[in-house]
Amino acid sequence: MSTHALPKLSAPATRALDSAGITSLEQAAAHGQRALLALHGFGPQGITILRAALAELGLELAD
């Protein structure tokens, strides 16, 4: 399975994903919206950006 880089996000959102060990779109998708929003520094705008990037690949968030 190939992995795709995360899209450009705000610095706090990028740090939140990094601290959770999420380094690819596929990993973010597997975590799901609820888990991502629970990360300190990750908010609704990050979800919107991730959803758009995932949609380009035919993927979506787990929940």
Closest by Cα among 9, 1, 10 to 52: 9
The answer to whether the CB of 28 falls within 8 A of the CB of 17 is yes
Quick one: pLDDT at residue 63?
82
Listed by start position, the domains of the chain span 11-56
> What pTM was computed for the model?
0.91
Q: What is the pLDDT of residues 3-55, one digit of tens each?
A: 899 999 999 999 999 999 999 999 999 999 999 999 999 999 999 999 999 99
Helix residue spans in the chain (DSSP H): 11-19, 25-37, 44-56
The answer to whether the CB of 27 falls within 8 A of the CB of 4 is no
In angstroms, rounded to a whole number, what is the distance separating the alpha carbons of residues 17 and 46?
A: 10
Residue 1 binned pLDDT confidence (cut-offs 50, 70, 90): low
N-term to C-term CA, the chain: 21
